[in-house]
Structure 1
Amino acid sequence: MELQTKTERREKTPETAKCPSLKKSTKKRVSIRGTTEVKLGPQLIGKNGVLTPFDSDGYVAGMSIIDRLFTELEKIGSGDFGDVWRGENNGDVFAIKKSKQEVNTGDPNKFKEIEMLHILPHHPNLLRFHKAWLEKDFIYIQTELCRTNLLEYSKNGLDEKTIWRIVRHLLSGLDVLHRNEYLHNDIKPENILVGSNGFFKLADFGLTRRVDCSKGIEGDSRYLALEVLLNNTTSMASDIFALAITFLEITTNLHLDTDADYKVKYKTFQIPDRFFVGRSIELRSLIQSMMNLDASKRPSCVELLNESRIFEKLTEREKRSLKIRGESEEPASECSEIRNGSVSPEVPKSPITKKPRTVSPKSKTPKISPKISGSPSTPVQQPLPILRFSSPDNSPPSTPPSNRRRQIDRTGPPPRALSFNII
């Protein structure tokens, strides 16, 4: 089977009308309010899966949380594990995901996704979590409401400027996970959401695990690295590979098939030039480097963000933010404290409304707070390394001297007390 675009796939395999089933369905009508069977009252699902009675402003005992706290309910999506609803509360709009199956009380992993949502730090490129609760044995997860997912967003094609923006946002979000020693394990366009503010966000953390607990993870085989398919062990490098397949899909509009021979062709980058017509050699070589068959040779998120070809695509504000981040911020060293809840992740403000942080009169030197909670990090004396990716013809592209990044002058006055986000 030859590689083909999604458009070519649709033209060759037109949809056919399905024969209606003669068997009458007895499936119950889907409702966000759950079944009518009387069960225990609603309970909040906290850190480590601890259940506590639901206690929130506006909630009345004996009444459904959905009925009491949300208005204008509307079903906006459905997946293998749950339905997603839109609801308003005090003028704010949220997404509420309700599990399709009643929770199995004997399942030790029944609250695994919610436990991960409690642990993950707040970041503009990670889906914002608000709360979760158990009601009538169904799990409800309340998050920020996003516009759509990346699969739908890219179905009519994307210009390269937008693709580079998506690259920056997703690398930034994945970098936060990796710095806290977590693996996503299920990166694909369906699990990437487009926020109302235009930020691209990693979502669906049901398979997220600690780096040291990565054995036996299953994801979408179309995006899994070959080493994962062989030994079923994921790593930070396998997350990079899955992200590269995502970039490949939105760049070339490539149809991803589950056929084994077909998957081998695109996963080993046996992709004809016609798929990259109108795309830059920089974008193509970037994706190819992230899909290196040798996992140890794939670049990390930090190396990619500091790579000259990505750096040159940033706005001036993003360049300044990345320089400050690379010079002053180190990976979080107290992940265990975050995991145990003794350190609360810092909530970054929107880059549109962020104001300069005022400096106390008693302090002569302002400090820059790292985005990931933990002990304040000290400035790094050496800048992060810059990778030089090879182009598909194995000849390294040249970088004009004028476009090289300059070292930050540390001899001048101390930096201003500002905090930046990568956008």
Structure 2
Amino acid sequence: MITIRNTLEVLASLVLALAACEPAATSTNPDEALERIDSTATPSDSTTDAAAAGPVATAKPGAKVRDRDPEEEKKKLALSHQRSAEAQRMLAGGRFTEALDHSRQALKIHEQNVAAMLVMGEVYYKQKKFELVQAVTSTALAVDAKIRTPQESSHAHNLKGFAYAAMGNDNLATQAFRMAAEADDKNAAAWNNLGTRYMQAGDVATAKSCFTYALELDPRFAKAHVNLGAALRGESKWQDAEKSLLTALKLRPNYPEAYFNLGVLYLDADPYPGLETVPRLEKSIGFLTKYRDLAIADGPDGPGTATARSGPQVKPGPAPVSKARADDYIRVAKKGIDREQRRIDREKGRDPKKPGDAAKPGDAAKPADSATPADAGAVDAAAAPADGATKPAAPAKPGAV
């Protein structure tokens, strides 16, 4: 008799086939700008894309399907999980080729090991093989819900979201992050990631509610504090934004994105309660200088980087947070100080005024007029990302937070 494999066995075989055809030398450095996917960020979606993962086998008339021994299946799954745990450690150490090998071995032991599939998805994401990420996560979401945990479902949807975002499909990315949050409503990283998508779309109010809920779940989530600060800054709630950003620094000292957002906050906040123009701009320069000194490489830390200057100006895509951007803002702040000092001198009757010194109408209201507003967005990351993030600080990217 011909033994007919069930649908999941076929899907798992496809995943193994896809993995086997990938060259081993494509692994990337784990210290790249992309943050590692947060192991707690587990988006889930009740809708599975099984069709995208491969063909489904159909039984021939009269063929018998072998019943499985439940106890034997438990033993096989436990052994498979031991192997996928090794794969996870390899992934954490940036040993991507070995992580893939261990994941394949785990799936050969038991084809319904979702954890092994998620490790493969994270590796493919790091390698920028986004279509493979979609195939693997679709297979993971097709596994029986009795075996697949809510956390694994959420993680799979989170990976889907980052892959969609990287492929430029913002609508599907937002849907995936929403599914991640719904699959595990206690997953703070998933809610942070979802918030960064709304932040990028310019819906600051909804983004703020997502970040607030993420912080209710995890009050020590520094990335979400940065993202909430960015959202509050977008609403011109300067003091509330400052409080949130300073909280992030208490939780995570030397957090570059928090310093960047504080610098832009004092650049934008005209007026800031209790601060004259010159002291305000000097604070901006101080925070931006600190960010520049801490920044190791140009670019955002991933999807969800919390750097939006205001809601209506937010554009889709990663935030251009960089040392060069910080230098641009520092120059703007210094010009603002010079302009304010000349104004003070004129009022005191000691103005060594030169032709062309007078500020044009409206200049004082645009402290950052020479710099392009930073986009909201990378983990997180959420979120930007990161948390990617800024992952707002980034939906937490695969491995963000």
Per the normalisation by structure 2, the TM-score is 0.27
Answer 1 or 2: which has greater strand percent.
1
Per the normalisation by structure 1, the TM-score is 0.26
